[in-house]
Amino acid sequence: MRILNLTSDTKKNLLEDLLKRSPNSYQQYEDRVNAIIEDVRKNGDTALFAYTRQFDGAETNASNIRVTQDELEEAYRMVDDKLIAVMKKSLENIKVYHEKQKQYSWFDSRFDGVLLGQKVTPLARAGVYVPGGKAAYPSSVLMNVLPAKVAGVGKIIMTTPCSKEGKVNPATLVAADLAGVDEIYKAGGAQAIAAMAFGTESIPKVHKIVGPGNIYVALAKKAVFGHVSIDSIAGPSEILVLADETANPRYVAADLLSQAEHDELASAILITTSETLAKQVAQEIDHFTETLSRKEIITKSLENYGYILVAENMADAIEAVNEIASEHLEILTANPFDIMMKVQHAGAIFLGEYASEPLGDYFAGPNHVLPTNGTAKFFSPLSVDDFIKKSSIISYSREALEPIYKDIVQFAESEQLTAHANSIKVRFEES
């Protein structure tokens, strides 16, 4: 793993390198994705089934696209009871954490007849996309579904690719059932996003789509935004570890590799004030990589987007942390809580040597759907807030409006909106 001194040039080059992984950098796929979306929008199930046959090799139709109760029961029989017990523990932690995020309607009334407020309403329908393929991520099912459930969403539907035999990964199905998904459909890729965005004969239209996916899924979510809401356009996973000389190099190396194994575009970065630690971590990474099952992916990831940056001081290191705005940030320093107060931009912050990133991925409770590619500067983790909407409430009595109605009229007329002004004036016309 390359070791570089942290300078303005290395930081600039690093940021440019990381941005290459953004879904916004894959315009060459957009025409294909847009064609799929338009086809599904116009032709509904016919197009959806055709793309499922083309991309997944599965024959789906109106009678088998929805996962049945029998299929759910079969999934429970196929998943280890111990794993189901772990899922239930994780589910409870996630639920408890997100219940603290709930917002409620409020109203403020005055003696003169003014009532102002905010009405909080959960979304009527939400769609969750879950990737299929070679890997299954039941943890992502829990993380995407439970905030919607806590928010009180009326109906939660899920789409996920199936195998050529029409089967969905059993762990994915069990997680969905435990979390409370209402309907599960066998559909993947851009075609599934289009189906949820516009509705087909089999899949209902939703109001918001959340969940990770490949570049086609990411671009499809980007394309349908505006017709529906989306959580974000997620890029590849990333971790940044900020460490000083007190950090354990084995822990740091292990944590960096925990993200590098995701895929070849994943990013793993260490910023440290200790040159000694930098060299020790590089050695530990070499040792660990030789024994890990996804060695080839890890090696490519580190070659492409792995960095160890040595900073002159902690102030420079923190400045770089804020500019990178990583999805996952671990702080392994003598006083991580003090450093944390100086961090402005990060998706999730892990403090201390026993709060490694996989703790957040699976079990602690905070959501692991996080902003990537520097978007932590303006985006937040998936939360209950993503599944509610707010309406402003305004009520005035005549007695409250009369002292101010001329002010409103003047404001409206200054903008040459005479109908606006008239709407107020007619209420005080002399009979």
Q: Shortest CA distance to 223 belongs to which of 386, 37, 44?
A: 37
Instruction: List the catalytic residue out of 327, 330, 353, 357.
Output: 327
Strands 208-210 and 183-186: unpaired
Give every CB contact of residue 177 below 8 A, 6+ residues apart in sequence.
72, 75, 76
Establish whether 73 is a catalytic residue. no
Four-residue CA torsion sign, 30, 31, 35, 36: negative
Percentages (nearest 5) of helix, strand, coil residues in the chain: 50, 15, 35
CA gap 417, 411 in Å, rounded: 9
Cβ-contact 350, 328 below 8 angstroms = yes
Phi-psi region of 399 (alpha: psi -120 to 50; beta: other; left: phi over 0): alpha
Four-residue CA torsion sign, 102, 108, 114, 115: positive
Q: How far is CA 191 from CA 31, 67, 259, 300, 422, in A?
A: 14, 18, 28, 30, 49
CA gap 249, 332 in Å, rounded: 10
Q: Shortest CA distance to 24 belongs to which of 223, 228, 312?
A: 223
Instruction: List the catalytic residue out of 328, 345, 353, 357.
Output: 328
CA gap 144, 80 in Å, rounded: 22
CA gap 161, 146 in Å, rounded: 21
CA gap 51, 29 in Å, rounded: 16
Establish whether 328 is a catalytic residue. yes
Cβ-contact 241, 270 below 8 angstroms = yes
CA gap 27, 230 in Å, rounded: 19
Q: Shortest CA distance to 259 belongs to which of 274, 237, 227?
A: 237
Positions marked catalytic: 327-328
